[in-house]
Structures are given as C-alpha cells and as structure tokens.
Amino acid sequence: MRVYNFSPGPSMLPLPALEKAAAEMIDAGGTGQSVMEMSHRSGDFKPIIEKTGSLLRELMGIPPNYRVLFLQGGASLQFSMVPLNLAASGGGPADGGRKRITLVDTGVWADKAAKEAAKYAEVNVAASSKDRAYTYIPAAPAPGADDAYYHITWNNTIVGTRWPAIPATGNIPLVTDLSSAILSEPLDVSRFALIYAGAQKNLGPAGTTVVIIREDLLGRAPAWVPAMLRYDLQDKEGSMYNTPPCYGIYIIGLVLEWLKNLGGVEAVAALNREKAALLYGCLETSKTFYSPVEKNFRSLMNIPFVPRETDPVRKAEIEKRFVAEAAAAGLVNLAGHRLVGGMRASVYNAMPIEGVKALIAFIETFERSLK
C-alpha cells in the first residue's frame, strides 16, 4: 500500500510516472535495455534528454535566449557555481578586486548561499527576516549599480515562506533558487537571469539539478574556475561534459509528461492553491495547531504547523505523538525540520488533494483524542 508522503525532499513522485518507469525498467522504448544501462552518448539516450529539455521549455515558457542544463551536485553546489560563473575575479578567490553581489536572507538555504558566495565575492546581505525566525519575506532593497547579480530563494522549504512577487532589479541579473517551487505556479522566466533547482522536490529523483541561464551570462567565469563548474563548458557539451545523471533526467521527463497531461503549470497551480487553502483553513480553525508564518508570505509547497501548547514538555509530547500516529495512519514524513521543530507538510505537485484531505481528517481526529 502506498502512503501519502509529505517529505520535503526527496518527495513523492506522480504515480503514472513511476508506473511507466517500472514498465520500462528492463526495456526502455523498445531498446532492449534499461535507461540505467544506456551510454549517455548513444542514439538511444539522446532523444530522452532532448525531449526532457523540450518539455521543460514548453511547460515553463522558457525564452529561446535561455539555455537549459542538467547538472549534478544539488542546489548546494549552485551556491558555489553561481558566484564562480557570475562574480568571480580573474585573479582567483584571494584577488583583492572582488565583485559584489546582493542577497536577501530568508532562511537557512539563503544563508548557505551567502556563505558560499562570500568565498569568491563580496556579499551584501541587503535584508533579512531572521529577526522574526524567518516567518516573513522582507522588502527587497534595490541592488547596487555595480552588483554582479541579486540572489533570492523563492520558496523557503524549512520555514514555509514564499516571495509574494518577483523583485525588480533593473539591469542587475536576478538569480533564484527555485528548488522547492519549480513548476508549482506560473513564473515569468524572462524576469530572471538564472534559475536553479534541485530535482528532488517537484521534478524527479535526487541527483539531478536543473539550471536555466540567459545565454549572455555564459562565458563570464575566469580561466581558473574548474571545468566541471563552468556553465559555458557544460552548455557547449550539451550537459554531457562528463556522464550526466541519465536515469534522473529520464524520470524528470516522465514527470514533465505527467504534468503536461494534467494541463500544465496553470492547472497544477490551481490544484496547489486549493490544497494549500484547505490545509491553512484547517490550521486557522484548529484549537491545537497553528501556522507560524505570516499570511502574506505563506508557501504553497511547504506548510509548517506547531502546537499552541506553551509548556515545552507537553508540546514535545504532542509533536512526537502526532508524527508517530500519523505515520501509522499512512501519512509519513510530517516531522518539522530539526532546526525549527513542529510538523511540516510538503504538498508538492505530486501530492494529490486526497492526501491533504486525509491529513486534515487526521488533524481533527487527533485533536479530539487530546481532550
């Protein structure tokens, strides 16, 4: 029996995609082999990566002057690759002529991006919501006139916040970590200079990272940047400078097929808004739990909730019991991040509305059991 998996990542995948992958496990497309066995430079794999890239372009409305790369290392490696390619100085990390970037700190992953970028550039943390435990998105200050780029984390997986609008940065390239919200709602790709996303939320299995980069930003990396970390070289080689994560790319393609058949990003966005509204509505009326995130900045994808109980011992008991009993009921991976505690329901594209309704019913039953 399949469970409702509320994990923040790796997360649940659409059942039709998994079923097709299972059917093709030992014979993909009549080739007599699994995708896991294919040479990445073979005529069998080439149409797979090309179709995956084409579907992503179609579903996201990616303009023709943007390149799509399938890389490795997760979004965490992009914390280094972005500054190495867009802001690194020609003399190496110790060069005194460091370029500046502006970053808005909205949580753990934004902070990690800032710390990695600081190894290669001057980082201006222009605003932060740390003062209120990252429960809101601060106003976005204007970038500096000479900034190499402006970085935001669109959706904050741990604390459950989301940018309410794309900030205006003028001629300064806007970069975003879109890992936990890619394809969850329509976004104007042309407003961004570079988008990166780890696959294990809305795209596919862990191990593949998608980078969407405006082509005029290619070729800016100094000569000392390692070959594997250069966007221009990865683009020149068609994401195959070395062996790419072939099976992950194949699964992403199946997920994109599912999304297209569902009606595309507009259709799934409507479902996501409905799922989020149901769960937030439950928490608004709950006498046991509440959402700590300010309403204007609540994520559609990651919904943390915590007990209203103020006694720390009793609160911990409620959280432990809730997570255990929910798992026994087939609602798994609801524990909050270790840094913030509580519970967290990640309701990515593949989470059916029935899973959210089952969680709401469990919350109501759990509340009655506490009386």
Euclidean distance between CA atoms 257 and 255, whole angstroms: 5
Read off the DSSP letter of residue 311. S
pTM: 0.96
Answer yes or no: do 48 and 80 share one domain: yes
Answer yes or no: do 148 and 40 share one domain: yes
pLDDT for res 96: 66
Burial pattern 93-122, b for ≥16 Cβ within 10 A else e, equals eeeeebbebbbbbbbbbbbebbebbeebbe
pLDDT for res 43: 87
* Domain containing residue 230: CATH number: 3.40.640.10
Per-residue pLDDT 10s for the chain (371 aa) are 899 999 999 999 999 999 999 999 999 989 999 999 988 999 889 999 999 999 999 999 999 999 999 999 999 999 999 999 999 887 677 676 789 999 999 999 999 999 999 999 999 999 999 999 999 999 999 999 999 999 999 999 999 999 999 999 999 999 999 999 999 999 999 999 999 999 999 999 999 999 999 999 999 999 999 999 999 999 999 999 999 999 999 999 999 999 999 999 999 999 999 999 999 999 999 999 999 999 999 999 999 999 998 999 999 999 999 999 999 999 999 999 877 789 999 999 999 999 999 999 999 999 999 86
109 annotated active-site = yes
CA 268 to chain centre: 16
Catalytic residue among 163, 201, 235, 258: 201
Range of the domain at 305: 4-10+264-370
Give the length of the chain. 371
Catalytic residue among 105, 147, 163, 177: 177
Which amino acid does the sequence have at 358? Answer: A
177 annotated active-site = yes
Answer yes or no: do 285 and 348 share one domain: yes
279 contact partners, CB below 8 Å, separation of at least 6: 303, 345, 347, 356, 359, 360
Answer yes or no: do 313 and 235 share one domain: no
The number of folded domains in the chain is: 2
| End residue of a domain, out of 261, 294, 312 | 261
Euclidean distance between CA atoms 300 and 268, whole angstroms: 11
C-alpha torsion 245→247→248→249, nearest 10 = 80
Answer yes or no: do 212 and 348 share one domain: no
Answer yes or no: do 141 and 278 share one domain: no
Answer yes or no: do 252 and 292 share one domain: no
* Domain containing residue 320: CATH number: 3.90.1150.10
Catalytic residue among 109, 154, 163, 258: 109
